[in-house]
C-alpha cells in the first residue's frame, strides 16, 4: 500500500515539478518584461480572483466533496451508476458555473473593488479600467478549470495521476507563448489565461473516454448524489480555502500600499508554493482516494497508517524546504527574477515577503496532509470550525500589522501581511492535527522520537552548509545571470547532499517509506 502511494506521489510530484519549472520560466519572463509596477499589479489581481474561486471551489470544496462520493460509488456500485454520477455532476456543475461566470464578467468592476480597493475608479482610474477589462477575460477560467478538476478527480480515483498532474503545464505554456506574441501590453496575458482554461479541460477528455466515463451531461440539481455532494461542499468551501482567503486579504490591503506590494507578494508566494506544489500537494492528492477506500472498508488501522505515512513523508521534504526558503530567500529572488524591469529594490522587497511566507509553507503542507483525514470520512464541520478560527486570527493580525505600519512608517509593510498568512496556516494545521488525535482517527506509529532526531540533525547540517557558502545579497546582485545560477546550484546541491548524507548516516532509508 505505502509503496503504491509513494510511486503515485512520485508521478504527481514529477509532473507538478515540470509545471512549476515552466511556471518559473513564466514568472521570470513576467518579471523581466513587466517588472513590479501598476500594470502587473492589475493583471495579478485579475488572475487572483478566478484563482481564488479555483482553489476554494474546484480544487478545494468540489474536489474534496466529489472524490469521496465518487470513490464510494466506484467501489460499491456498478459502472453504469458511476457513468450516471459523472453525467449528472458534469451537467449540474457546468450549468451553475455558466451562471456564475456570466455574473462575474458583468460585475467585474465591483469584484475588482472588493478584492483590491486600492484599484477603485476614484483612487486609480487607470488600474481600475485595466483590471476590469482583464478580469472579464480571466474570470471564465474558473468555469473551465472547475470542470477540469472534476475530470481530474475521476482520473485520480482510477489511479491515473499523470494526466491531471500534467494539465497545469498548459497554463504556463499559454502564458509563455503570449509573451512572444505581444510583450508590449499585459492584456495579452489575460487572453492567454482564457485560452488555457479551455485547453486544460479538453486535454482531460480523451482519458475520460478511455474509461468509458464521458456520457452526455445532464442537469440534475435534485439528484440525491448531487445533493449529497453539495451538502459536503458548502462547509468544505470554508475549511479548505483558509489559505486563499488569507492571501486575498493580503492582496486587498497591499493594493492600498501603492505600486509594487501586490507583485512583491506574488513573486514571494510563487517561490513558497514551488515546493508546496511539487511534494506536499502531491502527497495530499494521492492519499485522499486511499483514505476514502479505507473508510469505505471500515479499516481504521490502515486509515491511521496512511495518515502517518503522509505526515512523515511530508516532513522529510517539507522541513528542509522551509528552512531553505528562509536562508536562501535573497539569492532565490535575485537569481530568478532580478533582471530587466525588476529592480534591486523589487528584489529586496520580495525577499522580505519570502522570509515571512516561509513558515506558511509548513502550515499549508500540514493542512494538505491532514484535511483529507476529515474529508475522506465525509466529516466537514470540524475543518470549517478550524478554518474559521485560523482565518479570523490571520485577518486580525493582517489588519493590526497594516495599521502599525501606517503609524511607524515601515518600509516593508507588505511583509507583515505575509507573516499573518503564515500564522493563519500554522493555526489551521495545529487545530486539525489536535482534533484527529483527540478523536482517535490518527494514532502515531512507532519511531517518531528517532524520526525527529534524524530530521533535526540533518536540517541543522543543511543550514550550516548553506550559511557557510552563502554571500551577502549585494554580492548576488553584482553577479551576472550565469554566475548567480551557478552559485545557487552549488549552494543548493551542497546543502541537499549534507541533508541526505546525515539522514543516511542516522539510518534513514527510502524503503522505510515504502513499508511504513
pLDDT value for 323: 94
Confidence of residue 456 (pLDDT cuts 50, 70, 90): very high
Instruction: Give CA–CA dist 316/313, Å, rounded.
Output: 5
3-class DSSP state for residue 177? helix
In a domain, 461, yes or no: no
pLDDT value for 96: 84
Instruction: Give CA–CA dist 15/12, Å, rounded.
Output: 5
pLDDT value for 515: 44
Contact between 127 and 160 under an 8 Å Cβ cutoff? The reply is no
Instruction: Give CA–CA dist 495/487, Å, rounded.
Output: 12
Q: What is the pLDDT of residues 43-92, one digit of tens each?
A: 888 888 887 777 666 565 666 677 777 777 777 778 888 888 888 888 88
> What is the torsion angle, in degrees rounded to the nearest 10, for the CA atoms of residue 60, residue 63, residue 69 and residue 70?
180
In a domain, 485, yes or no: no
What is 430-461 written as a DSSP string? HHHHHHHHHTTS----TTHHHHHHHHHHHHHH
Whether 338 has a pLDDT exceeding 60, the answer reads yes
CB atoms within 10 A of CB 473: 18
pLDDT value for 58: 58
Q: Which long-range contacts (CB under 8 A, 24 or more apart) does 293-298 make?
A: 293/71, 293/75, 294/376, 295/68, 295/376, 295/377, 295/378, 296/71, 296/72, 296/75, 296/76
- 123, with CB counted inside 10 A (0-12, 13-18, 19+), is middle
Give mean pLDDT, residues 244-257. 72
Average pLDDT, the chain: 82
Q: What is the pLDDT of residues 3-51, one digit of tens each?
A: 555 555 555 556 666 777 777 788 777 777 776 666 778 888 888 888 7
In a domain, 492, yes or no: no
Angle at 53 between CA 48 and CA 55, to 5 degrees: 90
Structural domain for 303, as ranges: 2-445
Q: What percent of the chain has pLDDT over 70?
A: 86
In a domain, 235, yes or no: yes
pLDDT value for 502: 95
CB atoms within 10 A of CB 14: 16
- The count of domains in the chain is 1
Q: What is the pLDDT of residues 367-382, one digit of tens each?
A: 988 988 888 887 878 8
In a domain, 290, yes or no: yes
Whether 455 has a pLDDT exceeding 90, the answer reads yes
Torsion over CA: 292, 293, 295, 301 (sign) = negative
Those residues whose C-beta lies under 8 Å from the C-beta of residue 224, and which sit 6 or more positions away, are none
Give mean pLDDT, residues 213-230. 79
Those residues whose C-beta lies under 8 Å from the C-beta of residue 488, and which sit 6 or more positions away, are 328, 331, 332, 335
Torsion over CA: 2, 303, 72, 298 (sign) = positive
In a domain, 383, yes or no: yes
Those residues whose C-beta lies under 8 Å from the C-beta of residue 414, and which sit 6 or more positions away, are 250, 254, 257, 261, 264, 265, 349, 352, 353
Those residues whose C-beta lies under 8 Å from the C-beta of residue 11, and which sit 6 or more positions away, are 161, 162, 165
Contact between 352 and 207 under an 8 Å Cβ cutoff? The reply is no
In a domain, 476, yes or no: no
- 515, with CB counted inside 10 A (0-12, 13-18, 19+), is exposed
Amino acid at each position: 500500500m505505502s509503496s503504491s502511494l509513494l510511486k503515485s506521489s512520485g508521478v504527481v510530484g514529477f509532473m507538478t515539478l515540470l509545471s512549476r519549472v515552466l511556471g518559473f520560466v513564466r514568472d521570470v519572463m513576467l518579471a523581466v518584461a513587466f517588472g513590479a509596477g501598476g500594470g502587473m499589479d492589475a493583471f495579478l489581481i485579475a488572475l487572483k480572483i478566478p484563482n481564488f474561486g479555483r482553489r476554494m471551489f474546484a480544487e478545494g470544496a468540489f474536489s474534496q466533496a466529489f472524490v469521496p462520493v465518487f470513490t464510494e460509488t466506484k467501489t460499491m456500485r456498478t459502472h453504469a451508476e458511476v457513468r450516471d454520477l459523472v453525467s449528472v455532476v458534469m451537467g449540474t456543475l457546468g450549468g451553475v458555473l455558466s451562471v456564475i461566470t456570466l455574473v462575474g464578467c458583468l460585475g467585474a468592476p465591483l469584484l475588482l473593488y472588493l478584492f483590491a480597493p486600492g484599484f477603485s475608479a476614484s483612487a486609480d482610474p487607470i488600474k481600475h479600467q485595466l483590471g476590469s477589462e482583464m478580469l472579464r477575460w480571466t474570470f471564465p477560467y474558473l468555469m473551465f478549470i472547475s470542470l477540469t478538476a472534476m475530470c481530474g478527480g475521476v482520473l485520480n480515483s482510477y489511479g491515473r495521476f499523470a494526466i491531471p498532474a500534467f494539465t497545469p503545464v498548459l497554463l504556463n505554456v499559454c502564458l509563455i507563448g503570449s509573451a512572444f506574441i505581444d510583450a508590449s501590453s499585459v492584456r495579452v496575458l489575460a487572453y492567454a489565461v482564457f485560452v488555457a482554461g479551455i485547453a486544460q479541460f479538453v486535454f482531460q477528455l480523451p482519458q475520460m473516454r478511455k474509461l468509458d466515463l464521458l456520457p452526455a451531461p445532464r442537469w440534475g440539481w435534485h439528484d440525491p448524489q448531487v445533493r449529497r455532494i453539495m451538502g459536503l461542499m458548502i462547509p468544505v468551501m470554508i475549511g479548505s480555502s483558509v489559505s486563499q482567503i488569507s492571501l486575498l486579504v493580503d492582496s486587498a490591503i497591499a493594493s492600498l500600499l501603492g505600486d509594487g506590494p501586490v507583485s512583491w507578494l506574488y513573486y514571494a508566494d510563487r517561490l513558497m508554493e514551488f515546493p508546496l506544489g511539487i511534494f506536499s500537494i502531491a502527497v495530499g492528492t494521492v492519499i485522499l482516494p486511499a483514505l476514502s477506500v479505507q473508510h469505505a472498508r471500515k479499516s481504521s488501522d490502515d486509515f491511521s497508517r496512511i495518515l502517518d505515512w503522509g505526515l512523515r513523508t511530508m516532513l522529510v521534504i517539507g522541513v528542509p524546504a522551509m528552512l531553505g526558503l528562509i536562508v536562501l530567500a535573497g539569492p532565490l529572488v535575485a537569481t530568478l527574477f532580478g533582471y530587466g524591469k525588476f529592480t534591486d529594490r523589487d528584489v529586496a522587497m520580495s525577499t522580505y515577503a519570502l522570509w515571512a511566507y516561509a513558515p506558511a509553507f509548513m502550515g499549508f503542507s500540514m493542512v494538505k496532509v491532514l484535511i483529507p483525514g476529515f474529508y475522506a470520512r465525509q466529516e466537514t464541520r470540524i475543518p470549517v470550525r478550524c478554518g474559521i478560527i485560523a482565518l479570523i486570527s490571520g485577518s486580525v493580525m493582517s489588519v493590526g500589522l497594516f495599521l502599525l505600519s501606517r503609524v511607524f512608517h515601515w518600509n516593508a509593510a507588505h511583509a507583515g501581511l505575509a507573516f499573518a498568512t503564515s500564522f493563519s496556516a500554522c493555526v489551521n494545521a495545529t487545530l486539525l492535527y489536535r482534533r484527529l488525535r483527540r478523536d482517535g482517527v490518527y494514532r502515531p506509529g512507532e519511531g517518531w522520537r528517532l524520526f525527529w532526531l534524524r530530521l533535526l540533525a540533518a536540517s541543522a547540517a543543511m543550514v550550516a552548509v548553506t550559511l557557510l557558502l552563502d554571500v551577502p545579497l549585494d554580492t548576488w546582485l553584482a553577479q551576472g545571470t550565469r554566475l548567480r545560477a551557478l552559485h545557487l546550484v552549488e549552494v543548493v546541491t551542497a546543502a541537499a547532499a549534507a541533508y541526505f548524507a546525515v539522514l543516511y548516516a542516522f539510518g534513514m532509508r527510502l524503503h522505510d517509506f515504502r513499508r511504513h
